[in-house]
Amino acid sequence: MWNPIKLADPNGEKPRLFFHGEKSKSTFVNIVNSGLGKQFEANLTRNRNGSYTFDIIPTKSGGDVNKLNEHQRAFYDALRNCIDAKTKEGKELIYDIDVYYAAKDVHTGNYIKNAIDVADMNQFNELNDGGATKQGKLIHEFEEQRMKAYMGNAKGEDMGYKFCHKSAIVAENKVNGNRRDSYDRGLGRQTHEETFTLPNGEKHHVKVSTSTAIITVTQ
């Protein structure tokens, strides 16, 4: 389900998303909705500057957080944290994210460009399948951009990346229900490996290749 898009005035609040093509918008919505157990759904409000204000709202027959499983509740809480974010002064934190589908220069996310690629995110597991998930990747990128804006760093800057990345991994871990290593292991040109420790202590390895417009994920 996807609520009708409304028109807001003038430029929106909360996270403002700039979609590059209809496929980027529909895929983003599908990733959000598939992680919320049919209790909540993405709501996009179109602004006059071309962006969309992003929020999550109850579905017509849902709205009960108690019906979300552990991973869905973590995803819901993490989304709300990014949506309802405040500045250091307690004001609404407004930050912009460009949303692409199969961009050659954005691999899942690009901290400096304030950009995400939902085609890449879509290559990861569904939320309840464990390992590295679509929803975990979405939260990782949103949390990085939330912290970047909170620290006062603008689009085009790389300051604060290490700190924001660590914060994003904490958020990603809660959604996935596992623990991702802080640093990825390079496997050669345009390929790296992410390692996740599962609740039973086993190591789960995820190979990611960024040689094509849509990344290849093996896990």
Q: What is the pLDDT of residues 71-122, one digit of tens each?
A: 999 999 999 999 999 999 999 999 999 999 999 999 999 999 999 999 999 9
Instruction: Round to the nearest angstrom and report the end-to-end CA distance of the chain.
Output: 29
Amino acid 13: pLDDT = 57
What confidence tens digit (pLDDT) does each residue in 12-43 have? 457 999 999 999 999 999 999 999 999 999 99
What confidence tens digit (pLDDT) does each residue in 147-197 have? 999 999 999 999 999 999 999 999 999 999 999 987 788 888 899 999 999
Residue 148 is encoded by which pair of tokens? 């970047």
Domain boundaries, the chain: 6-178
Amino acid 121: pLDDT = 98
Amino acid 206: pLDDT = 96
Q: SS3 string of the chain?
A: CCCCCEECCCCCCCEEEEECCHHHHHHHHHHHHHCCCCCEEEEEEECCCCCEEEEEEECCCCCCHHHCCHHHHHHHHHHHHHHCCECCCCCECCEEEEEECCCCCCCCEECCCCEEEHHHHCCCECHHHCCCEHHHHHHHHHHHHHHHHHCCCCCCCCCCHHHHHHHHHHHHHHHHCCEECCCCEECCCCEEEEEEECCCCCEEEEEEECCCCCCEEEC
> Hey, what amino acid is at 199?
P
Residue 11 has pLDDT above 80, yes or no: no
Beta strands at 15-19 and 52-58: parallel, antiparallel or unpaired: antiparallel
Claim: this prediction has a pTM higher than 0.85: yes
Separation between Cα atoms, residue 129 and residue 71, nearest integer Å = 10
What confidence tens digit (pLDDT) does each residue in 146-156 have? 999 999 999 99
